[in-house]
Amino acid sequence: MSKRKPNKNKGPAIIDLDLDSSDLDSPISELFRYEVSKHRSCWRHVFAYLIVQKKKLALKDIELIKKRYPCLLEFPCRFHRGERLKRKGKREEMKELRPPKDAKNAVSRKKEKLDSQAFECKEKLGSEAFDRYFQNLWKNLSEDKRTSFAYLDCMWFSLYLQPSSRDKVLTWIKKKHIFSKKYVIVPIVCWGHWNLLIFCHFGESEQSETHKPCMLLLDSLENADPRRYEPDIRKFVLDIYEAEGRSETKDFIYRIPFLVPKVPQQRNDVECGNFVLYYINLFIEGAPENFSIEGGYPYFMKKNWFTPEGLECFCQQLYSSSE
């Protein structure tokens, strides 16, 4: 039998990240309609893209890419197909050994299962859906809250990471006047996963004794190592300060505390967007007048911050009011 020759024309789908300056004038959601492979959220895709761009990579560069952009399909919480089949076979065996229940109990169990799955998230939120729900949440805030908060578009950080669109993003941010606000909400979606970045007291000067700037990163998937974003976020913040012509030194900006509180975690691999929306809602409701690392951090942002039932109720109300 002859060996099949490899098809050199086939390979993983590649993301084209080069944007013309004219494209940046179109709506944000239109800039990301490209094909991606099933590994679009991990190091494999980044590595493939760099190879196509003929970038020379040392072994340490590859290891850094793998650490910064881990593959979410490789987490130990996911079972291989063979393991799932074994577990399914064991469940079927147990069903045969169970004594039959009366009809009343069977109906009760079925109703309980339906109730628990009443708001089961089927797929990840895209940027358009996320923005629609966020705008609905924002318009219902009181005037006092709006004067204390600002927000950035959920796609701006991803766009900033592309050199061809970096200056444009910084221009958009400048129009938001974030240094006049106590808090700035920055939803982030990178490689298929949602996080929430919050800037606190960025308008305060280096000499301020009462209000100290800091950054919060809320991640519902802590196993993916949220701190891998820190280098890019710090560069992002430095460029924002410099674009605004602020007087703070580079050393001061790089010493701004970067905090990752322990918050409730997602239960599957698709509900990270819902968690970020709920983080935003609860943070805006409970944000202290003066956020202090020494005085009260992490405040309400703890593992028991909210329950799954609270999240489901919030999403049901938000989704129904956005229709």
- Residue listed under structure tokens 């990840």: 124
The residue out of 79, 99, 119 marking a domain boundary is: 99
Domain contains 4: no
Q: Are 20 and 47 in contact (CB under 8 A)?
A: no
Say yes or no: 39 and 171 in one domain. Answer: no
* 117 lies in some domain: no
Note whether 238 and 156 are same-domain residues: yes
Is 116 within the bounds of a domain? no
Amino acid identity of residue 308, one-letter, is: P
Q: Residues near 174 by Cβ (< 8 Å), separated by ≥ 6? A: 243, 244
Other C-beta atoms lying within 10 Å of the C-beta of residue 110 = 10
Q: Are residues 93 and 241 in the same domain?
A: no
Q: 56 and 176 share a domain?
A: no
Q: Please tell me the distance from the alpha carbon of residue 242 to that of residue 167, in angstroms, as a whole number.
A: 12
Q: Is the domain of 80 the same as that of 204?
A: no
266 inside domain: yes
In a domain, 114, yes or no: no
* Domain assignment of residue 270, yes or no: yes
Residues 136 and 20 in one domain: no
| pLDDT per residue as tens, the chain (323 positions) | 555 555 554 444 444 444 444 444 444 444 444 444 445 556 666 767 677 666 777 776 777 777 677 665 554 444 444 555 555 555 555 454 444 445 445 444 433 433 333 344 557 899 999 999 999 999 999 999 999 999 999 999 999 999 999 999 999 999 999 999 999 999 999 989 999 999 999 999 877 777 899 999 999 999 999 999 999 999 999 999 999 999 999 999 999 999 999 999 999 999 999 999 999 999 999 999 889 888 889 999 999 999 999 999 999 999 999 87
Check if the beta carbon of residue 25 is closer than 8 Å to that of residue 32.
no
Same domain, 74 and 206: no
Task: Say if 87 falls within a structural domain.
Answer: yes
Shared domain for 64 and 147, answered yes or no, is: no
Same domain for 261 and 315, yes or no, is yes
Cis bond before residue 298 (omega within 30° of 0): yes
Q: For the chain, how many structural domains are there in total? A: 2
Q: Determine the pLDDT at residue 123.
A: 76
Q: Which CATH number characterizes residue 260's domain?
A: 3.40.395.10
Spatial neighbors of 156 by CB under 8 A, at least 6 apart, are 28, 169, 172, 173, 186
Same domain? 194 vs 316: yes
Q: Which residues contact 86 (CB under 8 A, 6 or more apart)?
A: none
Domain that holds residue 184: 127-322
Domain check: are 141 and 37 in the same one? no
* Phi, psi (degrees; rounded to nearest 5) at 195: -135, 165
Torsion sign (Cα): 297, 301, 302, 304: positive
What is the spatial order of strands in the sheet that 214-218 belongs to?
149-151, 183-190, 193-200, 214-218, 258-259
Residue 221 lies in a domain: yes
Are 197 and 303 part of one and the same domain?
Answer: yes
Mark which of 80, 99, 118 sits at the end of a domain.
Answer: 99
